[in-house]
Amino acid sequence: MNAIKAANDSWVLITGASSGFGEEFARHYAALGHCLVLVARRLDRLEALASALRQQHHVNVVVEQVDLSAVAAVIALYKRLTERDIFIDILINNVGHGLQGPFLDANLDAAQAMVQLDIASLTAVTHVFAQDMRRRGRGKILLVASVPAYLGMENFAVYSAAKAYVLRLGEALHRELKPHGITVTTLCPGMSDTGFAAAAKQKITPALKLLMMQPAPVVRSGIRALESGRKSVVPGWANKAIVCFVWATPRWLHQAVFSRIMNA
């Protein structure tokens, strides 16, 4: 009882909270008794999730409909929360977008929007809330990357490059912010049943079906790694094997193999 009461004093901010991993993170932290700030563009889904979590777990849930692709909106979000005396203890930076297809066949605006959301906006959210954590001398940040962060993947050129940025940013900040009492962990999931594939117009090959994980074990893996202070984590034995294969083989080989797996 005391542990839950203490947890109620801490706030968790989750971006991309209306579905997929974001929704699963919200359910997990609500079950632990944390107060939540749920951020996404789809207000109806946020409100429905918030209502369910309040009723089931009796926690304080704040809903923020924000288009995080605009950096000004990130700063405005921080100001609104500060004015309400809401200070974030745990940041789950889950926002992101993907798109499968040949680089030159995609609309340039779509590629730029992916860079804006997956790189610029994630950086802005991390910077703004980490500043506040440093002032208070404590905090935890989980950045959600992807297994393609380890690969330059055909027909996922912008997405895999963006997730490589997230992974390297997280690795650097893990060491940089540790002296300030801030833990930074990067979660690199593989193929997961979150609705991402449909939104990214991704082909689900037979090999990908075998690799697919459910959101819950991915989220649990990320939270365990964050709580234990790890630099990064790849959930699932199959995904770990993929990363080991990447480390152990030349680029021409593993890029050819995974191009076939992802695009066959």
Residue 75: closest CA among 138, 127, 11, 140: 127
- Indicate the pairing of strand 182-187 with strand 139-144: parallel
How many whole angstroms separate alpha carbon 97 and alpha carbon 175?
Answer: 27
Q: Supply angle C-alpha 173, 118, 84, rounded to 5.
A: 75
How many whole angstroms separate alpha carbon 184 and alpha carbon 162?
Answer: 18
Residue 182: closest CA among 193, 170, 174, 191: 174
What count of other Cβ atoms lies within 10 Å of the Cβ of residue 223? 22
Identify the active-site residue in 29, 78, 150, 159. 159
- Indicate the pairing of strand 139-144 with strand 11-15: unpaired
Residue 13: closest CA among 132, 135, 116: 132
User: Does the active-site annotation cover 159?
Assistant: yes
b/e map of 145-167 (b: 16 or more CB within 10 Å)?
bbbbbbbebbbbbbbbbbbbbbb
Is the C-alpha dihedral spanning 148, 149, 151, 156 positive or negative? positive
What residues are labeled active site? 159
